[in-house]
Amino acid sequence: MAGRGRPRTGLAGPFDIVSFSGPWPTVVNLENLRGGFFMEGDDVATFEAAFERTVATALPVDVSRETIKKIMEGTQQ
Element (H, E) at 38: strand 35-39
More confident residue, 75 or 49: 49
pLDDT digits (tens, 9 = 90+) for 1-47: 444 555 566 677 789 999 998 899 999 999 888 888 999 999 999 99
Q: Has residue 59 been placed in a domain? A: yes
* Nearest-angstrom CA–CA distance, 19 and 26: 4
Residue 43 near residue 28 (C-beta atoms within 8 A): yes
How do residues 40-72 score in pLDDT, each as one tens digit? Answer: 999 999 999 989 988 888 899 999 999 999 999
CB-side neighbour CA atoms (13 Å) of 25: 11
Residue 31 falls within a domain, yes or no?
Answer: yes
Domain that holds residue 56: 10-73
The pTM (predicted TM-score) of the whole model is 0.69
Our count of domains for the chain comes to: 1
User: Cα(first)–Cα(last) distance of the chain, in Å?
Assistant: 16
Q: What is the pLDDT of residue 64?
A: 93
